[in-house]
Amino acid sequence: MKKINIGLFGFGCVGQGLYETLNNSKNFAGEIKKICIKNAEKSRSLPRRLFTIDKEEIIRDPEIDVIVELIDDANAALEIVTSSLKNGKSVVTANKKMVAENLEFLVKLQNETGKAILYEGAVCGSIPIIRTLEEYFGHEPLDEVKGIFNGSTNYILTKVFNENLDYDEALRQAQSLGFAESDPTLDVKGFDAKYKLSILLTHAFGIYVKPESIVNLGIDHLKNTDLEYAREKGFKVKLIAQARRIDDKVFAFVAPQFIGHNDSLSSIDNEFNAVSLTGDFCDEQLFIGKGAGSLPTGAAVLSDISALSYDYKYEYKKFYNLGQLPFSNESLLKVYVSFNSPQEIDLSDFESIHDKYFSFDHSYVVGNICISRLLEKKWLNNPNNNVVLCENSRQLQLGNLCVASLNTEIEDLKKGQVLLEKITV
């Protein structure tokens, strides 16, 4: 194994975790030669000579073999990665937003420069899911990839269901422990999980899908009445990222879902992540590990650096072997939608209604709605409205394509909405 000299960008939580794992590894020959940071005046735990604020000092250093990018600015990260590859450096990054939004471009740049970009640490922390998809499942057609991709929301939901904390208190606890940011938007609204799912779509199904094309619904609209409903039905709620291939089309979304206690994801608690793969030959495989934290993510980054010492690259086998499967949002999901007032939702957006309940303090409907409508409907942004996928909806109802003109159904829905308005006046 050849010794690797590392140029590091960022020395926050993950950067410090990388430094610790690197210096406690007994089977890796490498060292961090220089670290680029934004604030030169900030007190650091390492000698001052290791730090610089000049990114070119690292990128253009001929003695540095690998650039490791661990900053939280996606635009700046893209600039660092692009410049590094063009300057003959292989790159390791954990920036899931940057990778998800630019993956097709980065793969082309890897091919043009002959240098590798690896990003195992960007998806589900310590779970080696990308390399597993590339190597173990590189030639097996997969039917489904789903799981708990965000440790912050899983911690919050664990405290809500296992300890009966309310949502706000669970969020504060997650923030105090460093599992959630002071601004938790990316986590609780499902963006973080969506970026990870976007990346896995390339490795699992061989397609590039921009994050903005994927529906993401979060847990920030959950109300106590929704939690009571789940408990009465014997469910937990988990934020699930899911992609499924049916009839040579791929469907994907991120949403809170009702999970029964016999579901393999039901027992995944606290900051742990889980990824479930279902294939033509392997049936279901479940991978579990810590999805956040300094050391787990640092260990994933170190694994990528180690792989580069063997000249490893992602080969994107599914992209070249499966051909370009079309991505679609034109399919039905069975959802539970709670709301305070009938004016806050549009019942005609549903293809059909299976159940409904109206009261002064809690109303809901259960019905089928098209994924594409979830992507475009503004009433979903109303904090009084909450959407949770029903348990038996997780196998996508792909035999039922979305039809916007089911006249008789829509007329019934309109009548139901009038009735609801009368009841809640």
Catalytic residues: 196
Token representation of residue 380? 């979903």
What is d(CA 137, CA 348) in angstroms, rounded to the nearest whole number?
42
What is d(CA 237, CA 226) in angstroms, rounded to the nearest whole number?
9
The CB-side HSE value for 62 (13 A sphere, CA atoms) comes to 0
Token representation of residue 143? 């039917």
What is d(CA 288, CA 134) in angstroms, rounded to the nearest whole number?
18
The Cβ of residue 189 has, within 10 Å, a number of other Cβ atoms equal to 20
CB 224 within 8 A of CB 359: no
Say whether 275 sits in a helix, a strand or coil. Answer: strand
The CB-side HSE value for 25 (13 A sphere, CA atoms) comes to 20
DSSP conformation letters of 302-336: HHHHHHHTTT-----HHHHHH--PPB---SEEEEE
Listed residue (144, 103, 106, 149) closest to 126, CA to CA: 149
CB 34 within 8 A of CB 61: yes
CA–CA–CA angle 6, 8, 14 (5° rounding): 120
DSSP conformation letters of 66-81: EEEE--S-HHHHHHHH
CB 318 within 8 A of CB 138: yes
Question: In one letter, which amino acid is 297?
Answer: T
Q: Which residues of 355-366 are buried (b: 16+ CB within 10 A; e: fewer)?
A: eeebeeebbbbb
Using the Cα atoms of residue 345, residue 346, residue 352 and residue 358 in order, give the sign of their dihedral: positive
Phi, psi of 364 (to 5 degrees): -155, 160
Strands (DSSP E) contained in 152-248 are 215-216, 235-246
Using the Cα atoms of residue 294, residue 295, residue 296 and residue 300 in order, give the sign of their dihedral: positive
Paired sense of beta strands 142-148 and 272-279, if any: antiparallel
